[in-house]
Chain A
Amino acid sequence: MKYLCLVYYDEKKMQQLTQQEWDNLNQECMGCVEDLTQGGYFLDGAPLLSTDTATTLRMRDNKPLITDGPFAETKEQLAGFYMLEARDMNEAIRLAEKIPPARYGCVEIRPVRDLMAQDNLR
């Protein structure tokens, strides 16, 4: 099964890390991706720039409505994602435990569904 692991943390808290601490964390993430790739679990993934850079788009009446910032103000913000191939939820949890920013914020693990011509899961 495919699982999308969404990484969240409090951006303000992460801003307080020194450049050295921040770089160390990023190096850890690179190592994590390497391990996941070697195990055959890593399908895709990327870190995101901070929510300051976000733009939110809504299409209403065929017209784009564009606003700044993320669509909702939350305590923790989406910071990146890992798309993993895992046998089941238990394996996905075990893999997600290794994602370094999980120590600061949280990782939401979501099973991916297939797009189908009909009988789509809800």
Chain B
Amino acid sequence: MNTTSLKQRIEAIYRDESRRVLATLIRLLHGNFDLAEESLQDAFMAALSQWQQDGIPDNPRAWLVSTGRFKAIDRLRKRTRQDNHLEELALTLESEMQSQPLVEDETIEDDRLRLIFTCCHPSLSMEGRVALTLREVCGLTTEAVAAAFLLPVPTLAQRIVRTKSKIRDAGIPYEVPSPELMPERLEAVLPVIYLVFNEGYSASSGAQLTQRDLSAEAIRLGRLLQALLPNGEVTGLLALMLLHDARRGGRTTASGDLIPLEEQDRTLWNRAQIREGCDLVIQALRAGPPGVYTLQAAIAAVHAEASSTEETDWAEITGLYDVLLRINPSPIVALNRAAAIAMRDGPEAGLQAMDNLTEHKELRRYHLLYAARADLLRRLDQTQEAIQCYQQALELVQQEPERRFLQQRLNTLQKNS
């Protein structure tokens, strides 16, 4: 075999296997993240030279895990002169290598779950969880994660170091939670994936509305988790992301301006992805009482299946929001429900439902409350009030494409008044 194609095959193996091998090495190296990362690199360096002579082994994954273990002991040996603690770890690893030389593929899949639950442990800050998950589970470089979140590289690197230290110092274990703890621990994992998706779907500030890479990464992560742990809410979250992402092609113009739902060209939506999302919604709903992600996915599915806003089943959507509000009484859900009521019963009913919401402290600085009110007032030809609401929304909006959209609506109203 020539060198180029061997190198390409090793690169492909790196893409497919490196995260699995890393997850297993972290467990075998007693939760030592840094040592596992270094040993993983060592193992691939060794593969480059050795596989050239001997060919690629039948089970490259097992070869890499085993080589990584040896390399870790080598590294520890070189450092032990300064540290008794490492000396001890090296001895333990050596004896473990003799007693359990082989690693089953099944445990390797479990290790991927262990890695996810450790990186997303509720004792870690949300930003630490996000950074560490993208770095360790998805294998993004620190530079790539920093760029995606518009942060300086040293800030992000520091965040990752701190998060890893907390895992070590606070004794956060490398384990998959027991079945009775699973629901509460998933509550710490799913928001991490959804936050990554949303950061990619609509960046929280700045000019760039879509950072496709992050959304794609979140969907990949959602698929991985769903394959490893087919639970209702995991399936619901994957469905939700697929359904939102399927509408990506229709939600902005070529120049990056937002197009509201009722004006979107629905032929641009990704039908195959919508079908997959809808199938997953059904699967999630069958899994038991629906959680917040499954309900949001069901709402997204109703939108995605309708041929226009007029054809949309707003009664169904309002009903789903009622259930969602009961299990998650957040003012933002209440606002969305009010917007659905406006579509079902007319703008006046919608405004009435929104009237009580201005009381919420959380919503008082939320631009979409004013944008939603403005839109309903506009439909009722209450132009002056609508203008006022658009102005309030503009004072609070942070995202550039949304600001342009609101400004445009305001300009049209002012021209006609």
Whether A and B are associated in the same complex: the answer reads yes
Question: Which residues of A pack against B, CB within 8 Å?
Answer: 1, 3, 86-90, 92-94, 109, 111, 113, 121
B122 CB to nearest A CB, Å: 8
B254 interface residue per 8 A CB criterion? no
**List of 7 A-B pairs having minimum Cβ-Cβ separation, nearest first:** A88-B173, A88-B171, A1-B171, A89-B172, A89-B171, A111-B170, A89-B170
Determine if A87 and B169 form an interchain contact, defined as CB atoms under 8 angstroms apart.
Answer: no
Determine if A88 and B172 form an interchain contact, defined as CB atoms under 8 angstroms apart.
Answer: yes
Q: How far is the CA of A23 from the CA of B99 in the complex (A)?
A: 54
Determine if A90 and B170 form an interchain contact, defined as CB atoms under 8 angstroms apart.
Answer: no
B175 interface residue per 8 A CB criterion? yes
Neighbouring A residues of B173 by C-beta, 8 Å: 87-90
Neighbouring B residues of A1 by C-beta, 8 Å: 171
Q: Which residue of B lies closest to A111 (CB)?
A: B170
Determine if B172 and A90 form an interchain contact, defined as CB atoms under 8 angstroms apart.
Answer: yes
Q: Which of B145-173 contact A (CB under 8 A)?
A: 169-173
Determine if A121 and B177 form an interchain contact, defined as CB atoms under 8 angstroms apart.
Answer: no
Neighbouring B residues of A89 by C-beta, 8 Å: 121, 123, 170-173
B383 CB to nearest A CB, Å: 46
B87 CB to nearest A CB, Å: 15
B250 CB to nearest A CB, Å: 44
A–B Cβ pairs within 8 angstroms, 22 of them: A1-B171, A3-B171, A86-B171, A87-B171, A87-B173, A88-B171, A88-B172, A89-B121, A89-B123, A89-B172, A89-B173, A90-B173, A90-B175, A90-B177, A92-B171, A94-B181, A109-B123, A111-B169, A111-B170, A111-B171, A113-B169, A121-B169
Neighbouring B residues of A92 by C-beta, 8 Å: 171
Neighbouring A residues of B175 by C-beta, 8 Å: 90
Q: How far is the CA of A3 from the CA of B173 in the complex (A)?
A: 14
A97 CB to nearest B CB, Å: 10
Q: How far is the CA of A121 from the CA of B173 in the complex (A)?
A: 19
With most chain A CB atoms within 10 A of its CB, the pick from B169, B175, B181 is B169
Neighbouring A residues of B123 by C-beta, 8 Å: 89, 93, 109
Q: How far is the CA of A1 from the CA of B171 in the complex (A)?
A: 8
Q: Which residue of B lies closest to A121 (CB)?
A: B169
Q: Chain B 166-210 against A: per-residue CB contact (8 Å), 1 yes, 0 no?
A: 000111110101000100000000000000000000000000000
Neighbouring B residues of A113 by C-beta, 8 Å: 169
Q: How far is the CA of A93 from the CA of B170 in the complex (A)?
A: 11
Q: How far is the CA of A84 from the CA of B121 in the complex (A)?
A: 21
Neighbouring B residues of A88 by C-beta, 8 Å: 171-173
What would 15 more interface pairs be, CB under 8 Å, given A87-B171, A111-B170, A111-B171?
A1-B171, A86-B171, A87-B173, A88-B172, A88-B173, A89-B123, A89-B171, A89-B173, A90-B172, A90-B173, A90-B175, A90-B181, A93-B123, A111-B169, A121-B169
With most chain B CB atoms within 10 A of its CB, the pick from A1, A92, A93, A113 is A93
Neighbouring A residues of B169 by C-beta, 8 Å: 111, 113, 121
A26 CB to nearest B CB, Å: 28
A45 CB to nearest B CB, Å: 19
Neighbouring B residues of A86 by C-beta, 8 Å: 171
